[in-house]
A and B are shown apart, each in its own frame.
Chain A
């Protein structure tokens, strides 16, 4: 502790407190430009200079509050005439060159320089010489970032943001002194992440958003705070609307998990909400073609078929984990009650498990009962050791990646990365391992056996990671494990999850705190699971087969429930194929594109009794449907998302659904009543109250709890089965085979999200589509040259089942033996290359004009 006097007030504070933080805590405002909490300290703008008694040397009269730490006995003054004069001077000197083109500057009204001059400045600069002009026209660094060099005040926030937080190291400073200018290599940022975080932190109108350019003045905007619909990180964002249309998206300093950051999808990819090609009216297939009809007609059409289907209990429901909690919950309630079926699923993108379906859910229950860390990622990353398995965080969850980078850079946490593709975090990691999806179970078992001291021979591949990780785990007091979608998408997800629980338990048994979180690339997979969008468990992980569990809901819902576990989506497809599915209800999902076996889906759907698709857009699956119901897009309905962290956050609609579309919950309610049933509460708020009453982990979250900008956390549910983890010995025996070796010439195809797209929703964003218009095939330089291929070559990728074309992208540090193709491009029909249960998929690759030389060995 140190005694410090600030502006005459004497206090006790921790040694080493920053003067700036101390001042803020005392309500004393000290102006800053270059300071940003999350970034390294520069102390270059000299706005925050304060007086420290005794430090008054000849040259340095004042000290920067942003960089000076309290020592015992310090006397600090922030309000002397000298300080006021210095602030005025700094501003005046800045204004000597800063253009006063505020009337045409996008930033006017929320410009930090403008505000600062208003508060501390002299009003104008006495300097009358010509101002510096870098160039007469602003430069478009890329399609979303435009730069006006004249306005830059060289605070370097953008550069530090790009390097230290985003890790892209794309923007930098060229030249020096008065000629110093912010830019990318060759005056372009064409290859950067396009996240726009540099724009967000720019205090002035130097870096600007092209899509927002000249669209509005800040004071004309209506701002709505909501949660990003793209991935499970759950970033808080603010939509600025002008005349009801989206003008821009911003993030807010120290708000939400993301603070001032977003990724490209969140910042620029929400333009789809104003898309013109949204579904306008319900449609029913007539004479082989979809024809627009009224809601009454569509609902009664479904009603006619559905009544019979409901009696037989042969209805299946597939819903997207992009929907809000309320819609997800109501959907499973609809299918379970009105349709007497437990066949509900949300996980369209996963390969069918090669074991009995319930396996994966059992493992999940175990995790959610105990190891799952329901707290902010920020908090979870305070662990001494962080293990990331099966995720390319950089692409899947960019903002989570920023937080991991913060933790390893600034707090010296030990990071271990296990992923199929190289990631920017590799360079931050104590050790990293390239592993094909599906290999996680074997790896985790090796980690576990090494940790509990079973020194069997671990495969050579793992050795380096183990050498670093085991001592780190052993020394750690707290370990956080982040599990990516690669793990879940593999047919071997069940053993991987079992191993994960076992490892977690073993770590716990040796006295460590352990936290597991998933890195979902969909915004509400957590909600989907916890609210019962699972064939085997009711909301809150209550097994359907258990009478007491069912009784809770039967009482609450006033209907009887089937005790039979339902089918997951893989099984639903099998039922369709066998002609046993009377009605398949698909909400917000596009399995025809996303299910890893396109042929299977197409065949199955054609044999399904009634295919109902509810979506905001005409998806590929919707084109095959018998009935299409237009529903709200993101930002058109109220509700909540539950993030990867278990944080429940409120969505704020900006308007009612466009055209004749209706909100998801309204449609469910109407559908129920069209077959003569009442689904209960009708507003999102009422549905949420029901959730908080019936789902223990959500209890207490109603009312004001989730109204704050930072949402509120779910709590560990006590009713969960909690038997997912087996004892280590059991598991070691059960852990199966090594990844198989492959034939020469063949490569393993890995698919996943790229930075600009997640799933197929982002294709409706004109901006994202323009930024990443084409699919590509990523390959290592060695592999490319051994195949005689070079960067940008058009190539054909062929599996035993199909082929796809794209351009080659040769990437340094990409592993050999693997290629990556982003799965977000509709026209590629990537899933036609794959077969259910075969994962990863073996392919060969060749130049387009040459045709395929080798065929795949069968």
Chain B
């Protein structure tokens, strides 16, 4: 597939305006759905498309919607997860800056399917341009009666509000996001109850990622079958990949799901920089464990990456070449998670800070015997025991780095120095 779907308007001047969007067929899906689909039918369409969430966990979108109780007396909410904080990831920002109406139309479709009349966009606070573009786009949509009371003459209503995050990665985790909208510290909540049953303000709530929502109008317009045929059947669709780090052409690439990582890195992103060799690649943002160069043939979809003991996550692909130090990268990643730990649970709060202290010493040439065993111990203590996936992700990544590049770590302990810095 060379055809662009999500980014098809991106190059157009004023791509963020409603006119551009409408001219390219925008809001057609909305009209179609309001005319031809019952909410259930829309849910079925999305189920049939096999669309899986683009926020990281890859949960089947239609199935998630299906959990929302049908009782019309219950108030329901939709939250768009635009908190994009996973290091290495910048795809949602591109959608919001370049073509925000895709996502807004997607939100209206989703709200219709689940019966929500209020929706919030939880967007990370740093994205000021995105906030502006979204707010302008919402206004345009209200003016054209795509939003508000009785959307384009139907008896469907929806209000969308922008809620700015304020610098907390954890608020990307869906329950922490809900807590944050409710005006609390962004700490994950117990599940069950799942948000679809008891979410925002204790009402049934669907949380979907920006890119997930942006796929919806296309599925409505072009059919579930079309979508399912792009990439692997079980995780199909167009996909935005964020390439960064040691490659010649970093940036955002729209390609089908399931493309081999090697093709992505070497063909599209131009491969390693002159004179360098790729050492490792993080395929899905720093929550995803890195894989060694030898595993680059893996395909970029949920199942294949899981089989390679990592994950697709947010598709933030970070390339590390042989000129950099894995211990340094691991240190920085664990520093990040320690800084972003909400502090709720013991293993994540305390464990990550212990790991940071040890890793910093290693990198500064102050390693001690037993340090690596302490790190192993911490990974075991945190992984599987932390309250939410933040701790798990951190420990998983560190554990894999320790396994794959143990030699580099051992070198730091034994020689008490970093070979690269």
Residues of A near any B CB (own CB < 8 A): 41-47, 49, 59-62, 67, 86, 89-90, 92-94, 96-97, 126-130, 132, 153-154, 173, 175-180
Contact = CB atoms under 8 A, between A and B. Distances in A.
A96 B354 contact: yes
Which 4 pairs from chain A and chain B are nearest by CB? A180-B343, A89-B381, A177-B341, A129-B357
B190 interface: yes
A178 B346 contact: no
B347 A173 contact: no
A154 B344 CA distance: 7
Q: Mostly helix, strand, loop or mixed at chain A's interface?
A: loop
Contacts of B378: 93
B353 interface: yes
Interface in B141-157: none
Contacts of A45: 345-346
A94 B346 contact: yes
Given A127-B374, A153-B346, 10 more contacts: A42-B344, A45-B345, A46-B345, A49-B385, A59-B383, A59-B389, A97-B354, A130-B357, A154-B346, A175-B343
Given A41-B190, A43-B190, A177-B338, A126 B384 contact: no
A41 B192 CA distance: 12
Contacts of B368: 128
Given A176-B341, A178-B338, A154 B385 contact: no
Given A67-B190, A126-B370, A177 B383 contact: no
A451 to B, nearest CB: 28
Contact of B354 (A41, A60, A67, A127): A127
A60 B386 CA distance: 9
B276 interface: no
Interface in B307-352: 338-347, 349-352
B298 to A, nearest CB: 18
B158 interface: no
B65 interface: no
Interface string B348-375: 0111111001100100000010100010
Contact of B344 (A44, A93, A132): A44
Interface in B161-212: 168, 185, 190
A86 B389 CA distance: 18
Contact of A44 (B338, B358, B387, B389): B387
Contacts, number: 101
Contact of B385 (A86, A94, A130): A86
B185 A96 contact: no
9 contacts: A46-B385, A93-B347, A93-B350, A93-B354, A126-B370, A126-B377, A132-B353, A154-B344, A175-B343
B350 A129 contact: no
A88 to B, nearest CB: 9
Nearest to A155: B346
A241 to B, nearest CB: 36
B339 to A, nearest CB: 6
Contacts of B342: 176-177
B97 interface: no
Contacts of A96: 350, 354
B380 interface: yes
A62 B343 contact: no
A684 B351 CA distance: 58
A175 B396 CA distance: 26
A163 to B, nearest CB: 11
Contacts of A132: 353
Contact of B346 (A60, A90, A173): A90
A328 B48 CA distance: 80
Contact of A97 (B185, B344, B353, B386): B353
Given A89-B381, A93-B351, A176-B185, A154 B358 contact: no
A132 B378 CA distance: 17
Given A46-B346, A176-B168, A177-B349, A126 B374 contact: yes
A59 B345 contact: no
Contacts of A42: 190, 344
Nearest to A56: B384
B392 interface: yes
